[in-house]
Each structure stands twice: as C-alpha cells, then as structure tokens.
Amino acid sequence: MVSPPSIDPLSVYPKVAGVDEALYQVPSTGLSSLQRHDANSCTLARTRRYQVEHIGYQTNQAMDYAPLRNYLDIHLNNAGDPFTENNNQTNTRWIERNVLDYFASLWNAKWPHDWADPETYWGYTLTMGASEGNIHALWNARDYLQGKTDHQDCGHAAAGRESRTMLADDSMQGSSELELVEHSLYPIAFFSEESHYSIAKAAAMINIPTFYQVGVAEFPGQCPLGAKYALKPGEWPREVPSKGGGAGPGSIDGDALCTLVEFFASRKYPVIVVFNYGSTFKGAYDEVEAVGIRLVAILGRHGMLNRAITFGRQRVERQGYWIHVDGALGASYMPFLEMARRNGMTELGADFTFDFRLPFVSSIVTSGHKWMGAPWPCGIFMTRTKLLLMPPSDKADYIGTPDTTLAGSRNGITPLLLWNFISTHPYERQVKTVLRCMELAEYTFQSLTKLQQDIGLDLWVTRSPLSLAVLFKEPKYEIMRTFSLSGMTIYVNGVPRRYCHVYVMESINEEKINRFEDFVRIVVLKNRGAFGSNGIEYDTVTISANSRVIKVPHQMLINGRFVDSVEGKTYETVNPTTEEPICKIAAACAKDVDMAVKAAKDAFEKGEWGKMNARDRGALMYRLADLMEHHKEELATLESVDSGAVYTLALKTHIGFSIDTFRYFAGWCDKIHGQTIPINNARPNQNLCITKKEPIGVCGIVVPWNYPLMMLAWKMAACLAAGNTVVLKPAEVTPLTSLKFAELTVKAGFPPGVVNIIPGKGRLVGQALVDNMDVRKIGFTGSTEVGKQIMKSCAVSNAKKVSLELGGKSPLIIFGDCDLDKAVRQGLQAVFFNKGENCIAAGRLFVERCIHDAFVTRMVEEVKKMKIGDPLDRSTAHGPQNHRAHLEKLLAYCEEGVKEGATLVYGGKRVDRKGFFMEPTIFTNVEDHMMLAREESFGPVMIISIFENGDIDGALRRANSTEYGLASGVFTKDISKALYVSDKLEAGTVFVNTYNKTDVAAPFGGFKQSGFGKDLGEEALHEYLKTKVVTFEY
C-alpha cells in the first residue's frame, strides 16, 4: 500500500531553470533506459553549464578524479576508528591513515598516530565536510571539559575489546551521576560574527551555550565591552566582534575576545574558542598565534590551564579550554604560502602559524571539496590523542572497532579522493598554485575596482589581506545564478548591505574574471538605461512536444520589438512528422524588410552597439550563448518539430554546435586588429602607415532549412563579433528556432536593432533584402541557382559584398587498403547524417573494385539497422524529410536513377506511414554520364561507383569532374596516398579517414560553383570586416 501525492509536486517545488523535472519522477514501474538517459543527460548538461562559469563558492572545479570511477560500484565503508581494523575488508583505512599522516606533517603534529603516545595526533576523514569536523570538535571539547573519560585517563593502548566496554560503561555511569552544582563543568563557546554558520549550528545541536546566552541569562548588563564596539553599556554582543565591524577585514577582534574570555575565565567557566582560518564569507584569517598567546596568559592567571575536576567516580586533570581552528579552506593551502615565503618567493603574510606547533591548539578541520576539489563534501578532522574522548557507547562493538568518529558508516571513497589529490600535487605544484591564486585574487580586486571607477558607481569592492575572496555589491539575480555567486547581508555602520563574492580557486583564470567583469559592466549599464528596458512583451504560440510546453514568438523581431507584418499576412509552418500545421507565422513583406534594415542601420550608426567596447560586445555574446544553453532542450525540440531533425542529433549538433559557435566568436571580439606597415618615407619627413579592421555595417543573412539554427549561428556569430548589425531571413519552412533565438537576443540585452529576424518567402523577403541599398553585405547558404541570382542582384544594387555557401556533390574515395569497418561506419554517416539533408553529404562514393562488393553488402546491412520514426523518439536514427516538396523531388530523383540504368540496391521509396519519411536509399553501378552522378540529391541517397584497382588518378579525375567543390573525403591507410589525394581533390574541405568532422575553429567553404567565402574560424571574421589604410606624415 502506498500513498498518492496530495498535490502535484511540480506545482509546489521550486522551479529549476533549464530542467524538466517531470523527467525525474519515478513511477512504480521504474524508468526505461532511454528515460534515464534523458534525465542523466539533462543533469549533466546543466551542471556542466554552470561549472564553466562557477566563480562564487569555495569549491575548486579544476580537479580530475576520473581515475577513481572504477570504485563507484564497490561499497567502501570505513566505519569505526581509522587506526584499528575490523572484519569488513571492503574499506580503505590504510589509505585514510596515509592521508591523515600527510596532513599531520603539513600541520606540524607529532606523527604517526600511536595510542601509547598521547602527544601524537588522532583524526579521521570526514563524510559531511568541515561542518562535521566542527561538530566533532565541539562535541569532543564539551565532553573533555566536563571530565568525561578519554584515552589517556584509562591508559588505553591497543583499544582492546574489554577495555572499550568498561570505559563506555564508566563514561555513561559518570554522565548520569554528574551533579551540576557549579558552572566549572559548563563550557562556553566563543566565535566571531564572521564565523561559518556551521559553528553556531554545532553549538546549538550539542547544547553548548555561547557567551552571549550565558551573559544575558547570568550576567545581564555586565558585558565588559563598551562603546568601541557600538554597544550600549553592559549590552552583550551575539558573537565576538570582528575587527572594524562589517567594514573590516573579517578577522576576529583579539581585544574583544580576550576581554570576554577573561570575564568568564575569572568566574571559572571553561571556554571553547573557535578561530577562523580562511573559512569565512570574507575569507579572513584570525591571528591564531598572537591572540592564542594572549588567551593562554589570561587562562593561566585564572587557573584554567590545568585544573582538577571530578566527573562521576573519577578525578582527572584537565585543561580548562579548547581552541579549535576552522580551516575549511585556509588550512589546506596556507602551509604552502608559508613555504613560499620562507623560500623568498613572496612577501605575502607574516603570521602563518595556526597549527599544532602551537601547544594550545586543540583541533583543526579542513574541507576536501574546497582547495582539493573533491566532487562531494568531505574533509579532515584532527586533534591530539591525549584530548580524544572514548566512545560513549559500546553498541558499535559488532563492527569490531571503536566508534570514535561522529559518523556511523563512513565514506571509504573519500580517502581515495584525497590521496589522489595529494599524490598528484607535490609541494612544489601547490606552492605555485597558491601564489597564482593570490595574484589572481589581487587581479580580480583591481579589475572590479577599475570597473566601479569606469561606471561611476560604488560597488563596495573589498578584499581582506591574504583572502582569496573579493567582495562587492550583490548584482541582479541573473548574474548571481549564472556565475553561482553566494550572497550575504553584512552590517556596515549599522546599515545592512547585500554583498556577494568571487572566490579565486585553482579553476579560476583571467578569462573567467574578464568575462564576469564584462558581463557585470553590461548589466550595470543596461540597468541605468543605456540599453533600455529588459522587459520583453510579445505574443506567443504554445507548442507541446517532447514532454515540454514551449512558448515561441510568432512575430517578426524588428528594432527590439516583436511585430506583425505591415500587411498583416501570415503563413503556416508544418510538422514534417505529422504533416500537420504547427502554428501561423508572420509573413514579412518588402516594407518590413526596409523597416528592419533601417533599424539595423540606426543601431550601427547611432546606437549603443557602435559605441560599445569590443570586450563588452563579447560579453553580450557569451550571455547569449549561456541563454541558448539554458534553453537547449527547448531549441532542440523545436528543431525536431519544425525540421524533422532527430532530437538526439539536434541536441548535440544543431543546437550544441550553435552554442559553441557563439562562444568561439565571442572570444574573438577583442582580438580583431590591424597592422603597422613600413612604407617609404617622404623625406625629409617620416611616414607611419597602419591598417584598421572595421565592421561593414548592416549585413543581410539568408539561411537554409536543413540546419535552421546552426546556419544562423555560423554566419551571425562572426557578423556580430565583427561589430555589424544584422537582418536575418530564416528559411520559410523552418522559422521556429530563429524566432526563439530572437527572443533570447532581447533577453541577453542586445540593443534594439542589432539583431532583426524577418521570416517569409525567399523570392519576396530575400530579394528585397538583397536589393536594399543600405545593406552592405549578404551572407547566403542555399542552392547554386539561387546563389547566382543573389550574386547578380548584389552587383546590380550597390555592389555589396557577398559570401556564398552553395550546393555540393562531394566525392568520397574509398581505397581497398582502408579500414573497412571504419569506412562503412563513416560512409554511412557521410551520406545519411541528418537524413542526407547535409550540405557536405558525400554525394558520390568511389569504391575500389577489390572491396566494392564487400562494402556494398556491409553498407546494406548497416542501413537496415537504422530505425525510421518519430524524431523525438530517442531510439530513432532517421527522421522525416524536411517538407513535402523536397520528399517528392527525392522520389523523382530515385525514379530517374532507375530509368537511367543504375542498380537500386535498397530503398528508393516513401515509407508507408504518416509524415514525409523516405527510406534510406543505395544505388550502385552509377556511371559518370548519369544524372545521379552529376546532380545533388540533398537527401538520403547513396550513390556508389566503382573505380579500377590502383587507378588513383582515374578516381581523382572522375571525382573532380563536377562543377561543385564544397567537400570531399578519402579512406586509406597509406599516408602518402592520402596526402596525394587530398592535394588533388578540388574542394574546400577534405576529410581523411573521417567525415563530417567540422569545428568552430576550422574555416568552412567551397570552391567552384559551391561558392566562395568562409564560415567559421578566424577567416569568417574577414567576411564581415573591411580594411582601412591610414597614413600619417610627421
């Protein structure tokens, strides 16, 4: 019997941006492998996305713990004391002991641990993080100061079973008989107002009163602190003040602490003092040595260094204090800064000592997920053996080891993680890392200080000495979320301020800081009105698909607003899977084109875009890429619904590649530069000649229907990076992702008019765009026939610059000495990738006779395995063709091939189901004169021709006997042959023993009637730049 939910959980739980939480709801039947794959993919994509920009918490995101993945299917449990063994052999205690020894040495404790030597250390690896260590420290301190049994009191040597039982019984007996007739057994906690919240939580959990609670209850109005700390006479502060209050560095005020401790020590209260060591919000460091020495003197004056107390049936000698160091971050790396200073590598710092060199330090804790970057919270707790309390119970006897730790079961993988870190990070490396982080923290401080000067706004930028944290005024929530910043209210002169911080860890670099600063600069400017309102109002259509409800604009984007066409016309876009209309889209007219071009021209010549710093432009593009990734699943779903793209492919390629493209070109924004050219001087004067790279102005972009968003990204990203404004016409049949993209540009903060999206018919909207006299550049991807017309119109109108990526009939030559398995696998993708609707698809395969039959047999076998179906089905490999007219053209193409005498080996027909589905098709025995050999299908049709054994030049001649030259490929194990063939093939791209391997950094474009100009890579920028020469005489 199980209970149903009282209400839909998704209606009450907080919404997680970019996550479809319905994917994670687990029914009684469990989830299928595909459902789990979708959920896991969503989780990984989201966490990776935010990991990239993670700069706000004390966690290192740079570590590599992949070698430990093999342990994730083994239960490793280190339950019990790490310095004993038990019967459970799936543990890592011996590794844990080595890790503890490492830190004992680093913290100058006496090691190795020895039960017989009370001066040695004792410790264990934490499962919860430093918070667990703080709880253990305060729990141990409380019981120690109350006189409960410790190892030293009972002469514990080997921790035998009988002595453990006796001590546990004795300890419990004493606890029950304790007569609380005086407060000498009541420890009081002292920690600063900057302390991590886990300290206060730990004290409350184990019922340790703070000096504030005791002061208010027992000594009201008697606080020895005064007006110096902004207190009323006799008023008790809730925590020990920090130096300078909220405006100070965050370290504990030693004078205040000593004054408070003296007040209570003189009245015989045992004290627990917690020092912070780089673990606070400000990343401050308490002066453990200097303040600790003062405390010891105070405690000595009042007989609290050693005192005889009675607990139950035993009388023991105990010190009357416990000093704990919360070094969650600092204790992990400050020893290496001390090494650097002692070796003359830095002058930073003076009082480094916080560890067991100081005899009054009782315990230390550090985290494993901060400096060491462990993938989950963990850490190290350490104390002195003479201070360790015996377990309060013998109930853990069945595990064969005393339960001296706070946890029951303990994570046995944590020691492996920490051991992996320390074994791969020698002292020298850690010294260099800490020096680099200190330099970068100062760089961050200086950068944000300059930012607040530049924008004329006090951002409250501050950094405490030696801190890796740089604090500043808390920005908008979108920035907090994007960069995983943490916020906190700090009272400065009694006024509450919301701060956040950047925390410089090993995973942070200058590029991240610059990107963050640039983005903050843009958002600050936008909020002050430079970019106008961030609000966005528009009509939407709702599309329910892929377990999602997606809202998409259906209007044009012109000058930052979504508007209907001047003529009020619309058209329907159709789902190729169902053959049913999806929604109505605004159909632009020539007047709409003129309005969009005017908006783009004004934005370029008069608007903020033309005045913007290049780096700020890049920050906007980075922000846009982040929003695209945030909406990645929505965009991929729209691409599947509108174009028939298989969802899994759309997620990775159509959308993933688009995001990568914008990020790549965002990085180019501030790297575009001219040259200094030596020229002959006009004597007796001298001359200086320089070139400047300048944006062209308004650019028109027309993209095809096979990769709606990716083709947009390939052209627009370079266009915007160069500083241009743009008017884009998406393909008439696939407008949805372009319109969703339009929404994201507004949300990202692009100034009005920089990006304009106008869907409609090519012969009307595209032609008007090409003819417009204010458009200075056209970028087009599409058919050769249309490309020629565009080129002509560009010349006739205003001789505007043009780049064309046109048709192809890409040859793929497969030699007999190839890796046949790979050639079949890659050949399949070369033709059928994205249903064959791929500009670089292998339009004709030339297969050497000696392997031809085997190749064809293997290829047919592989094609038969391809699942044809709904592109949103995760198991689908082959979706519908883009639209009806294209399907009909492909079927006619195959019919003509049969008529001409080519052998139809497989497919060639429409699939018997609803939707524009076509069977993957294979033709063999295709002769050079046939239409199949000359014309591009742009669909799932494999054309195979034979070439004679060893006839390399013959194969090349036939491969090059085409007017197209977009891409090509060769498969052979002979490197000399591969180099020769790649030299001779007349194509813009040659793939060797691979296919379809494009990258944002590699230029892409064709030869001959496949067009000219390049997308992607640095060369793409030059398509959207003009060179100006400036010559000076002096």
Sequence-distant (6+) residues with CB within 8 A of 865 are none
Q: Round to whole Å and give the CA distance between 717 and 720.
A: 5
Maximum C-alpha span of the chain: 110
CA-to-CA dists, residue 497 to 476, 492, 595, 693, angstroms: 14, 7, 46, 45
CA-to-CA dists, residue 307 to 302, 505, 743, 998, angstroms: 10, 44, 72, 76
Closest CA to 890 of 923, 864, 926, 852: 923
Closest CA to 143 of 182, 199, 186: 186
623 and 522 in contact (C-beta within 8 Å)?
yes
Closest CA to 358 of 108, 725, 686: 108
896 and 931 in contact (C-beta within 8 Å)?
yes
**The residue type at 35:** Q
Closest CA to 599 of 698, 529, 694, 533: 698
Judge whether 598 counts as a catalytic residue: no
Question: How buried is 11 (Cβ within 10 angstroms: 0-12 exposed, 13-18 middle, 19+ buried)?
Answer: exposed
Beta partners for residue 556, in sequence order: 563
1002 and 991 in contact (C-beta within 8 Å)?
no
Residue 683: count of CB within 10 angstroms of its CB: 7
Judge whether 437 counts as a catalytic residue: no
Judge whether 370 counts as a catalytic residue: no
On the question of a cis peptide bond just before residue 112, with omega within 30 degrees of 0, the verdict is yes
Sequence-distant (6+) residues with CB within 8 A of 25 are 9
CA-to-CA dists, residue 807 to 704, 923, 1009, 1012, angstroms: 11, 21, 7, 11
Catalytic residue chosen out of the listed positions 223, 583, 669, 839: 839
Q: Round to whole Å and give the CA distance between 471 and 647.
A: 43
Catalytic residue chosen out of the listed positions 805, 919, 986, 1023: 805
Q: Strands 361-367 and 379-384, how do they pair?
A: antiparallel
Catalytic residue chosen out of the listed positions 526, 598, 632, 729: 729
CA-to-CA dists, residue 686 to 674, 682, 1029, angstroms: 20, 6, 17
Catalytic residue chosen out of the listed positions 193, 633, 936, 986: 936
CA 327, 330, 336, 337 dihedral sign is negative
Judge whether 729 counts as a catalytic residue: yes
Active site residues: 729, 805, 839, 936
